[in-house]
A = this chain, B = another copy of it.
Amino acid sequence: MRRTVFFVSDGTAITAETFGHSLLTQFGEVDFRQIRLPFVDTREKVRDAVALINRAAEADANEPLVFSTIVNSEIGQELVECDGHVFDMFATFMEPLEEVLGVKRSPQVGQAHGMGNSHTYEDRMEATNYALAHDDGISKKLDDADVILIGVSRCGKTPTCLYMALHYGIKAANYPLTEEDLEQPRLPAFLRQHRGKLFGLTIDPERLSQIRENRRPGSRYASLKQCRYETEAAEALMRSEKVPNLSTTDSSVEELASRILLELGLQRELF
């Protein structure tokens, strides 16, 4: 069963797509063909969008789904005329929200996606630069870190740090536990002094071996035996040092980031 889905917005369409995905994943048996239509912010562009949707309606046997977060109500109005089933996410909640708040909205396209605040923008950039400068144990000066991720090589530290930096403005450093570290009964002193910021990432040895195999095929580094040794030693070290930890095996980067913030008590706004 195939169904065409459009994510339409006068901004990036990220909100429409994020939310639309979360609904669609509940229908695993349907084969969704997904099309993003961002920056639909003029009469002309909305007519093009409608034409595209109508063409899909004709080609498919099924009515297309249209998730819209168009802020401009005139443009939103034109979209509703299309041959798809429009879920207007903005309009649906805007009226009840105005009622609860007792004020009318002051429409600002683009603002809808959290832009224009240069202060938070700079926080993100600074945090991203921090993550890059403190990736993979490059720097052992970790006083400014909000979070320090530890774990064996290739367990997922770097993307998790970058995600926290880009989305929450969190200064996230990471340090790879080397074989030498794993032979010690304690964590290195430069890490132990920041105990409250430490968070461990663990990983299934089979999965780790697979990932490392892609990087260095046939190496001792990628062997299942070595991966098993390292992951077990790392987990033992985290246990004995009481470092909270999570497995990256079945978690997405955003889930890891979100759980780490929660566990370390960091309340930062999502950008």
Contact = CB atoms under 8 A, between A and B. Distances in A.
Interface of A: 3, 11-15, 17-19, 21-23, 25-30, 34-36, 38-39, 63, 65, 69, 71, 85, 87, 89-90, 92-94, 96-97, 100-101, 103, 105-108, 110-116, 121, 124-125, 128-129, 132, 135, 156, 158-159, 162-163, 166, 211, 250-255, 257-259, 262, 267, 269-271
Contacts of A107: 26
Contact of A270 (B3, B18, B135): B18
Number of copies: 2
Contacts of A111: 25-26, 28
A131 to B, nearest CB: 9
29 contacts: A11-B255, A12-B254, A12-B255, A12-B257, A15-B22, A18-B270, A22-B114, A23-B90, A23-B94, A29-B106, A30-B101, A34-B269, A36-B267, A36-B270, A38-B258, A39-B259, A39-B262, A65-B100, A87-B97, A89-B93, A114-B252, A115-B250, A115-B255, A121-B252, A124-B253, A128-B158, A132-B158, A159-B166, A166-B253
B113 A100 contact: no
Contact of A254 (B14, B85, B89, B128): B14
B113 A17 contact: no
A245 to B, nearest CB: 16
A63 B96 CA distance: 13
Contacts of A22: 15, 69, 90, 112-114
Closest 5 CB pairs of A and B: A26-B105, A12-B258, A115-B252, A22-B112, A25-B111
Nearest to A63: B100
A28 B267 CA distance: 22
A113 to B, nearest CB: 6
A80 B261 CA distance: 26
B26 A71 contact: yes
